[in-house]
């Protein structure tokens, strides 16, 4: 973040994938260079598909080299010329099975120098459970009672070693095991079998694989005598995708951490978002999410590395307001995410009352919490985070409202009480009402913190149901990830709702009244709210009526003259 020349050090930040606008990062940079947009943003949160990745739209990282299909050094240089800094992701908990380290394990097994780079499930739980016939330890129930698993069953992936033995590795998030289909020639090469028999056997095998059966589950009928050889053949050819958990006790992992931070700094990053950091510290009998004190020890060590490269850390974590995790992060000296603002704004606009919103703004300023806030983002709208701020009945009502407007509820393990976000564009969540949306943006820009702007919100994008259909099962998040050509995005700049956002963003980015060291006054009663920022002799003011959906943004220079106004 920049902090010189009297300008704010917490100016607006664009948020997008490298291919959200155009086929690659060049498209978004061209939009930022457009005179209509230039000057609206201080920084750019570029999502991790900019790296060499496979699954989970970038969050399964093979390595942190630039994805040549999506970005190049010339794109980063153009951002630098615009004075736009970067926020980039560092995924502390896991790396892809396609990473150099895991591929070395697949090739060399016990002889790999990276053998302990990832978490061998059986080594981790040795002496703390019972070995199953499948070859993995089932931990004693009392030791996993407080653990939170992101998917049904134990979080493991059985990985074949060069000697044929399968070893379970800890796999918290995504995994995918692919078995290539076979033909008669494959079977004839692998075993003594006649051609016509091989044809029939291949059909049986492929039919079972198409049903999702594992090799050992296949029913081969009259060819059952070939079962062991078929299983061996399929396992030798299987391919894995997945996000394998890193063993933070390994010195090699810490070498990898430092190398990664150095790489990200080299790209021009100033802020590093720590994804999935709360899952990284693990020990038998303790929580595997926000382990205390393990999580804080991990962050402290990572911060020492980040300090070497002038990087500010932004740990990303979803937790209910009542848990006060945001406060603990702030007390430890970290920036935090304001995951409460998106829901609070929907609540305030639906009820026409601003008291909770103003109370939260005062808490942020009184406790000097430095936060990144947002309306929408690449994930969903986090409504269950509001527990402790507003009543649970009102939270349920907000969820119902967004769903009625076309949003999707994300469930974990199919249990409603575990979901924490609703997937929708923020524009659609507000009923595609331009006045509501512009008022929400105005409030965001006047709330304490660094405002992060999702590209689809900037362009007033609606729920994308076709994208969800194209993606299939698990594609609910694509409702809020529409890709535009550069021409389509530039066409959106003609819209009044987009133009007015850009006017406010340019004001917010360049007017000296804002900043982490600025003074904020708030007033409010019923639907009427007032935000007044003062810094360096300048004053910025937002007056709004949440029921009438009217607002005025004003800026006054050091002499008290009106420098900007938008109604």
DSSP state of 333: T
Q: Say if CB 118 and CB 170 are below 8 A apart.
A: yes
Q: Which of 36, 104, 316, 434 is catalytic?
A: 316
How many Å separate Cα 313 from the centre of its chain?
15
Q: Angle CA(459)–CA(461)–CA(464) in degrees, nearest 5?
A: 150
Neighbours of 484 (CB within 10 A): 22
How many Å separate Cα 85 from the centre of its chain?
19
Q: In what order do the strands lie in the sheet with 43-46?
A: 312-315, 269-275, 85-91, 43-46, 13-16, 450-454, 371-374, 336-338
Q: In what order do the strands lie in the sheet with 175-178?
A: 94-96, 239-245, 175-178
Q: Say if CB 94 and CB 225 are below 8 A apart.
A: no
Q: Work out the burial of residue 431: count CB atoms within 10 Å of its CB; fewer than 13 is exposed, 13-18 middle, 19 or more buried.
A: middle
SS3 content of the chain, % helix, strand, coil (to 5): 40, 25, 35
**SS3 state of residue 550:** strand
Neighbours of 77 (CB within 10 A): 11
Q: Say if CB 88 and CB 56 are below 8 A apart.
A: no
**Catalytic residue check, 316:** yes
Question: Do you find a cis peptide bond into 192, omega within 30 degrees of 0?
Answer: no
Instruction: Name 473's Cβ contacts closer than 8 Å, sequence gap at least 6.
Output: none
* Pure H helices in 311-379: 325-331, 341-351, 355-366
Which residues sit opposite 290 in a β-bridge?
none
**Catalytic residue check, 523:** no
Q: Work out the burial of residue 462: count CB atoms within 10 Å of its CB; fewer than 13 is exposed, 13-18 middle, 19 or more buried.
A: middle
CA dist., res. 347 & res. 340, Å (int): 11
Q: Which of 275, 464, 478, 541 is catalytic?
A: 275
Q: What is the 3-state secondary structure (H, E, C) of 127-173?
A: CCEEECCCCCEEECHHHHCCCCCCCCCCCEEEEECCCCCEEEEECCC
Neighbours of 76 (CB within 10 A): 22
How many Å separate Cα 331 from the centre of its chain?
23
Q: Work out the burial of residue 310: count CB atoms within 10 Å of its CB; fewer than 13 is exposed, 13-18 middle, 19 or more buried.
A: exposed
Which residues sit opposite 531 in a β-bridge?
522, 542
Catalytic residue numbers, as ranges: 275, 316
């Amino acid at each position: 973040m920049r902090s010189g020349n009297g300008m704010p050090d917490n100016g607006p930040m664009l948020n997008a994938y490298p291919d959200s606008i155009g086929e690659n990062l060049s498209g978004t940079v061209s939009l930022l260079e457009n005179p209509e947009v230039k000057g609206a943003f201080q920084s750019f949160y570029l999502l991790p598909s900019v790296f060499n990745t496979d699954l989970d739209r970038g969050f399964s990282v093979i390595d942190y080299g630039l994805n040549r299909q999506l970005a190049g050094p010339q794109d980063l240089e153009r951002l630098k010329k615009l004075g736009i800094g970067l926020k980039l992701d560092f995924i502390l908990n896991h790396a892809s099975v396609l990473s150099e380290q895991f591929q070395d394990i697949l090739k060399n097994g016990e002889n790999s120098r990276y053998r302990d780079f990832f978490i061998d499930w059986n080594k981790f739980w040795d002496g703390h459970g019972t070995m199953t016939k499948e070859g993995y330890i089932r931990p004693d129930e009392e030791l996993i009672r407080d653990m939170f698993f992101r998917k049904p069953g134990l979080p493991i992936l059985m990985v074949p070693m060069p000697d044929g033995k399968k070893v379970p590795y800890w796999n918290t998030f995504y995994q995918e095991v692919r078995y290539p289909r076979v033909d008669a020639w494959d079977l004839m090469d692998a075993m003594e079998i006649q051609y016509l028999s091989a044809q029939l056997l291949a059909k049986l095998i492929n039919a079972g694989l198409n049903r999702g059966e594992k090799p050992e589950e296949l029913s081969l009928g009259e060819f059952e005598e070939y079962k062991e050889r078929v299983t061996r053949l399929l396992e030798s050819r299987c391919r894995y995708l997945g996000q394998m958990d890193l063993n933070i006790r390994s010195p090699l992992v810490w070498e990898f951490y430092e190398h990664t931070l150095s790489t990200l700094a080299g790209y021009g990053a100033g802020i590093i978002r720590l994804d999935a950091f709360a899952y990284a510290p693990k020990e038998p009998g303790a929580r595997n999410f926000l382990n205390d004190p393990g999580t804080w020890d991990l962050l402290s060590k990572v911060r020492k590395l980040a300090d070497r490269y002038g990087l500010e850390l932004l740990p990303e974590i979803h937790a209910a307001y009542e848990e006060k995790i945001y406060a603990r992060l702030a007390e430890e000296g970290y920036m935090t995410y304001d995951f409460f603002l998106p829901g609070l704004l929907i609540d305030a606009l639906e009820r026409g009352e601003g008291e909770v919103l103003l109370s939260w703004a005062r808490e942020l300023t009184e406790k000097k919490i430095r936060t990144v806030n947002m309306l929408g983002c690449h994930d969903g709208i986090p409504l269950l985070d509001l527990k402790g701020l507003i009543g649970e009945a009102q939270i349920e009502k907000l969820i119902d409202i967004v769903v009625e407007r076309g949003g999707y509820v994300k469930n974990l393990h199919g249990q409603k009480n575990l979901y924490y976000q609703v997937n929708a564009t923020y524009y659609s969540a507000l009923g595609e009402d331009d006045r509501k949306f512009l008022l929400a943006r105005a409030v965001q820009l006047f709330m304490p913190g660094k405002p992060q702007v999702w590209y689809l919100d900037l362009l007033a994008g609606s729920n994308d149901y076709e994208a969800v259909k194209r993606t299939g099962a698990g594609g609910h998040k694509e409702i809020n990830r529409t890709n535009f050509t550069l021409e389509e995005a530039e066409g959106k700049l003609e819209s009044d709702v987009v133009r007015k956002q850009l006017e406010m963003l340019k004001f917010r980015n360049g007017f000296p009244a804002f900043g982490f060291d600025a003074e904020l006054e708030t007033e409010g009663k019923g639907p009427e709210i007032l935000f007044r920022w003062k810094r360096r002799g300048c004053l910025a003011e937002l007056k709004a009526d949440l029921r009438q959906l009217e607002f005025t943004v004003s800026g006054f220079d050091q002499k008290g003259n009106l420098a900007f106004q938008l109604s």
